[in-house]
Chains A and B, each alone.
Chain A
Amino acid sequence: MEEVDQIIIGSLLNIGCEFAEGMTSLKQFTTENVVEATVKCLRIINPDYKMSHIFPPGMSARFRVGTSIANTCKSIGYQGDIGYQTFLYSAERDVRQIFMFLVEKLPRKEGVKEDTGKSNVLQRRIGQVLREKCSTMWMPFYCKPLIEGVPFRTQPLFIPKYSKGHRNSKSQGKRQNEKKYDYIHRQVEHDELTPSLLELNCSQLIAASPTIGKTSKQGDMKTTKVTKEAFHWKDKSMVPANILSFLQLPDAIPFDSSLDEVIQIVTGQSLKTNRSRFAHAKDLQFTTVNDPTSSVDEASSSADVAKDQEELEEIRFQREEDEMNKMISDVVEDEEKYKEDLKMVEMSMKQIVVNTQELESTNEERIKQVKLKEKTLKLLPNAEENMEKLKAMVDASSQRLVELGKLWEEKRIPLVAEIRRLKQSKTETEFDAERKVEEIRLLRSRMKDVSEETKQKDQLIKQLKTELDSVKRDISRQSYTRRILEIVASIHKQKQEIQRVIEDVKLVQKTMNKLKGRANRTFSAADEVIFRDAKQDEGSKQAYKYLVSLHDNCAALLKTVEETGLIMREIRDLEGQIDIEIGKNAEENLEKILKDYKEVKRENAEMIKKLKKK
């Protein structure tokens, strides 16, 4: 029975009965444990069933709870004897039976039947990932160890919309031109992007601040230059403070306030240093502007002197121009002439080409004709004779050619046939090859499919493996199988035993019948012989009487033996029943019941008392 108990305890542990930890047998279960385990099982079997698994201390309440549990067990199909007493006064056997029934009824875990569908795999995967995620501790992103600080290094950025007239760094020059019109994330290194953007934003804020508006109002190139300079100066030292104050007090600076006011508000410093720079720049600017004007004055003063010279030169130019014109017209005339000549030359070339081609084409023919005529001339002296000869020759050659043709034909036909055959076989092999290629393609695709399937299955296996690992390995399965095997073996043994007993019984019965028959036959034979004699012989009469009485006595004896057997069987049955009853702890339970009965009575009395008091 130990295996059964272990299986039951394992199952109970699985459904969350922590008290069962470390127990090995149902004997160790207390009444409370039994009730708790039963209620938990029932709850899982029937989710609608609501009952606290804590056994109440009051006796009548306990009775009620016991009855309710027993009823529920019956309602889900328990066929054995069950009542409140089963729980209140638990006998190990009953409890085991109930638990066996309940554990059987517990819904199987999914996974008994595995579906390999994709959605199932996905769900499993999701489940797995979630489980993994749950097992690791959550951390806010800023606590993750990988993030490192980035030094505040900036690069100039170029954004067409904003960068016009703006420079936030001195080192622009070439790089800007190269990277112009590129996306900002490609203009600088990854690490420098955020700082650069921040800086750009800062400088834009400054540019948009009323300082610029103010200076542009003065409408002078010089002043913008100065502000730029001032800006650079601010850029180096004051930006953070500037921006901070600007951000903190966005409305504190009126838009039409003067530059000085703004600077004062923004920087909180005196204007003195600024002013000195401003003035300095102004001075520089003015001096540079003054220089060219003075030189122009000088030039105008010397203009009068040059006037005479200019006139002279004009006349010279006129003369030169005339000469040139003449030359040009001459050249044009020449060109016309040359063109004409060129055309003529082209024409002549064309003519020559045509002539050459004509001559070439006729040349070949003429050469042939000449040769023919030469031959003819040679043959001319004996014209008649030669003609005959030639005719004969031609005929002979023709004949010979035809002969040769026939000979060739003899060779050719098998060759052509061979070619045809080879071609045929080639196309056949090609066809074969094509078919094979097709087959290969098919196989490939099938291979692909199969490999995909294998991959899927592998994944599933992996997943299931991890799942299997994650599930606590309990003894239940092993013990189940062992138990089943044992049961099967014992049943087999029992069957054999029963068979043997049956055979025994049959044998005995047979012998009995045989003996009975023989006794009867002997008796009737004896009866007949002695009865015949008894008619004549008095002694025989007596013998006959004895025989009859003997027969009757024997029959009575037999009957008695049979009855004895019956009684023996009954005794054995009763003994078995007694054993069962003893197993049920009847006495102990009775005592308990008595105790409980008294308790109930006491409770009732108390209640009545309470009621009466009220």
Chain B
Amino acid sequence: MELSSLQAVGIVEKDTDNGLMWTWTYPSLTADQKEYALSKCCLSWDIKTEKGKIVPFVFSQYRKQWYYVFTMATSEPTALKSVTFFSIILVGNDFNPEKYAVLTRILSKYYEESANPVRILEQYLMVVTKGVCQSNSNGVFKVNSFSSQKAFTTASLKDVINTFGIQSILLYTAILLKMKVLVYHSKLELLLEITRALPALAWHRQDWSVVYPWVQDRQQELNAVRKLPHYVVGCTVENVLTPDDFDLYVNAEDGTITVSPHAKESLTMGKLHKDVAKKMVELAENETVTNQQFIAGIAEKTTELLEKLSSLGSENSAGETIISPDHIKSKDLHPNTETFLMNLAIAERLLKFD
């Protein structure tokens, strides 16, 4: 799968007279895709505003595809005349910012030197067919040396949890119950780090496709997001979505978490949460614990929780664990715990109705 995860590559150039041009694509991108990629490319932002500065590497997800945009200024010696900045845009199926950051950098070096997209095409085809590409300065780039596991643990979940302290349990619950989470931070780089760290709270799912690291106030993006059953969405502008559209609002700048009114019932805390929260904060405060260990710690807790849940149900003929609402109800648990377990069972696709 990894070999064919690359979908397309494109070049955007900014001329000396500030004109922006999409100069080259392989194999092709639709107008919608191009528009999205351009909106994520920092060259298209208004230079006059504060946000018009260059952000070298941006990644985001749109319609199940990941866009990686690397931007750099041309510096002498270069074959690129009358170009001040250019961006290499890669579209891929998998989430692996580090891998694509390296790849885009290599490609951009080639392009800056030769100003010939054929060099990029060659390297691109190398990566697609052989999984290897020759860097002109740093040896060989191998796709296999960038595992998705590594990508999932790169961003520090520990730091995120430390930012929010005991409130983090809300984040944990929301991710575990597959709820809609909106994260706000005005700094794009930080926002990307925070959002990509969050799915690690549900490590057992290994699902990073719920993350939309950066959603702008554009109708197509917002509509796409509104259709999703659950997500982790990042934004650098407040109020892109109304509280009806999300369950949890995370203001990473102020370190506050707000629960939308309609999600209050699902996010009521019980004894189980207290347990997890304690463990989480404990781990986060311990400086000797690495991010990987931290994630493993939480995963352990989650597994315990899931085992407990499974123990309530019964196995069916196919060997799958099945829980019916009556199973949970018969245990005569606290109503809050009961709701939580019910929702968790739904999220884990364990609940079966007659």
On whether the two chains bind one another, the answer is: yes
Of the candidate stretches B19-27, B41-49, B69-77, B286-294, the one touching chain A is B19-27
Q: Which of B19, B26, B116, B351 is A351 in contact with, Cβ under 8 Å?
A: B351
B19 contacts across to A, CB distance below 8 A: 420, 423, 427
Contact A401 B121 (CB under 8 A): yes
Q: Kindly state the separation between the CA atoms of A405 and B26 in the bound complex, as whole angstroms.
A: 9
Q: Which residue of B lies closest to A356 (CB)?
A: B229
Given contacts A402-B122, A423-B19, contact A409 B116 (CB under 8 A): yes
B342 and A347 contacting across the interface, CB-CB below 8 Å: yes
**A355 to B346, alpha carbons, bound, how many Å?**
9
| Chain B: CB-nearest residue to A344 | B325
Instruction: Assess whether B15 is in contact with A398, with CB atoms less than 8 Å apart.
Output: no
Bound Cα distance A354, B325 (Å)? 16
Bound CA–CA A344/B209 (angstroms): 29
Option from B21, B121, B351 in Cβ contact (under 8 Å) with A347: B351
Contact A412/B349 with A353-B229, A354-B178, A401-B125 known, Cβ cut-off 8 Å: no
A354-B229, A357-B229 are known contacts. Are A348 and B121 too (CB-CB below 8 A)?
no
Q: Mark B104-130, 1 if CB is under 8 A from A, else 0.
A: 000000000000111001100110010
Q: A351 near B353 (CB under 8 angstroms)?
A: yes
Chain A stretch 44-103: residues in CB contact (< 8 A) with chain B? none
| Shortest distance between the CB of B130 and any CB in chain A (Å) | 9
Q: Name the residue of chain A whose CB is nearest to the CB of B21.
A: A419
- Residue interface mask B1-22, A partner, CB < 8 A = 1: 0000000000000010101010
B347 adjacent to chain A (CB < 8 Å): yes
Specify which of A351, A394, A398, A402 is in contact with B346 (CB 8 Å cutoff): A351
Asked, given contacts A344-B353, A358-B349, A398-B125, whether A420 binds B82 with beta carbons under 8 Å apart, the answer is: yes
B-contact 0/1 string along A410-429, CB 8 Å cutoff: 00100010011001100100
Of residues 378 to 411 in A, which have CB atoms within 8 Å of B's CB atoms?
A: 394-395, 398, 401-402, 405-406, 409
Instruction: Please indicate the chain A residues that have their CB under 8 angstroms from the CB of B17 in the complex.
Output: 423-424, 427
| Interface of chain B residues 338 through 354 with chain A (CB within 8 A) | 342-343, 345-347, 349, 351-353
Instruction: Let me know if A354 and B125 touch, CB within 8 A.
Output: no
Q: Does A277 contact B (CB under 8 A)?
A: no
* Min CB–CB distance A425 → chain B (angstroms): 11
The answer to whether A348 touches B122 (Cβ under 8 A) is no
Any B CB within 8 A of the CB of A350: yes
**A357 partner residues in chain B, CB cutoff 8 A:** 229
CB pair B118–A409 under 8 Å, yes or no, is yes
Residues 314-372 of A contacting B (Cβ, < 8 Å):
344, 347-348, 350-351, 353-355, 357-358, 361
CA distance in complex: A300, B9 (Å): 101
Give residues of chain B (61-87) contacting chain A, Cβ–Cβ below 8 Å.
82
**Chain B residue nearest to A403 in the complex (CB):** B118
**A405 and B178 alpha carbons, distance in the complex (Å):** 45
Docked Cα-Cα span, A405 to B126, in Å, equals 14
Chain B contacts of A401 at CB under 8 A?
A: 121, 125
A360 to chain B, nearest CB (A): 10
Contact of B118 among A350, A406, A424 (CB under 8 A): A406
Task: Determine the interface band of chain B, counting residues with CB < 8 A from chain A.
Answer: 20 to 34
| Cα(A416)–Cα(B349), bound, Å | 53
Q: Chain B 22-56, CB within 8 Å of chain A: the 1/0 string?
A: 01101000000000000000000000000000000
Least CB separation from B27: chain A residue: A401
A423, B117: Cβ atoms closer than 8 Å? no
Per-residue contact bits, chain B 324-342, to A (CB 8 Å; 1 contact, 0 not): 0100000000000000001
Residues of B within 8 A of A416 (CB): 21, 23
Partner of B24, one of A353, A402, A412: A412
A344 to B327, CA, bound (A): 13
Contact B349 A354 (CB under 8 A): yes
Closest Cβ of chain A to B228, distance in Å, is: 9
Bound-state Cα–Cα, A361 to B122, Å:
32
CA of A53 to CA of B349, assembled, Å: 129
Contact pattern, B 144-188, Cβ under 8 Å of A = 1, otherwise 0: 000000000000000000000000000000000010000000000
Q: Are B118 and A405 in contact (CB-based, < 8 A)?
A: yes
B129 touches which one: A344, A347, A354, A398 (CB < 8 A)? A398
A409 to B: closest C-beta gap in Å: 5
Distance between Cα atoms of A355 and B178 in the complex (Å):
12
* CB-defined contacts of A353 to chain B, threshold 8 Å: 229
Residues of B within 8 A of A344 (CB): 325, 353
Given contacts A401-B125, A409-B116, contact A355 B349 (CB under 8 A): yes
Contact between A351 and B125, CB atoms less than 8 A apart? no
Q: How far is the CB of B287 from chain A (nearest CB, A)?
A: 38
Inter-chain contacts of A427 with B (CB < 8 A): 17, 19
Rounded to whole angstroms, the CA-CA distance of A409 and B82 in the bound complex is 18
Q: In the assembled complex, how far is the CB of residue A500 from the closest CB belonging to chain B, in whole angstroms?
A: 84
Q: Are A354 and B21 in contact (CB under 8 A)?
A: no
Chain B residues within an 8 Å CB radius of A424? 17
Query: How far, in whole Å, are A412 and B24 apart by their CA atoms in the complex?
Result: 9
Q: A405 to B229, Cβ gap below 8 A?
A: no
Q: Residues of B contacting A361 with CB < 8 Å? A: 209
Contact of A354 among B15, B116, B342, B346 (CB under 8 A): B346
Residues of chain A within 8 A (CB-CB) of B125 are: 398, 401-402
Per the bound structure, the CA–CA distance linking A419 and B26 in Å amounts to: 19
Chain B residue nearest to A406 (CB atoms) is: B118
Taking CB as reference atom, which chain B residue is nearest A404?
B121
Tell whether A348 pairs with B129 under 8 Å between CB atoms, given A354-B178, A354-B229: no
Tell whether, in the assembled complex, residue B117 and residue A409 are in contact, meaning their CB atoms are under 8 Å apart: yes
A173 to B347, CA, bound (A): 70
Bound form: Cα–Cα A344–B291 in Å = 39
CB proximity of B202 to chain A, nearest CB, Å: 13
Instruction: Out of B118, B345, B352, name the residue touching A402 (CB < 8 Å).
Output: B118
Measured between beta carbons, the chain B residues less than 8 angstroms from A351 are 345-346, 349, 351-353
Min CB–CB distance B253 → chain A (angstroms) = 32
Q: Which residues of chain B are within 8 angstroms of A398 by Cβ–Cβ distance?
A: 125-126, 129
Complex interface bits, B79-103 against A, C-beta within 8 A gives 1, otherwise 0:
0001000000000000000000000
**Residues in A neighbouring B117, C-beta threshold 8 A:** 405, 409, 412
* Chain B residue with the shortest CB-CB distance to A395: B129
Given A351-B345, A420-B82, 7 new contacts (CB under 8 A): A347-B342, A354-B349, A394-B129, A401-B125, A402-B118, A402-B121, A423-B15
10 pairs of residues in contact across A and B, judged by CB atoms under 8 Å: A347-B342, A350-B346, A358-B349, A361-B209, A401-B125, A402-B125, A409-B116, A412-B23, A412-B24, A416-B21
Q: What is the interface of chain B, defined by CB distance below 8 A to chain A?
A: 15, 17, 19, 21, 23-24, 26, 82, 116-118, 121-122, 125-126, 129, 178, 209, 229, 325, 342-343, 345-347, 349, 351-353
A interface list, Cβ under 8 A from B: 344, 347-348, 350-351, 353-355, 357-358, 361, 394-395, 398, 401-402, 405-406, 409, 412, 416, 419-420, 423-424, 427
Q: Which 7 residue pairs across A and B have the least CB separation, nearest first?
A: A348-B353, A405-B121, A398-B125, A405-B118, A351-B346, A351-B351, A423-B19
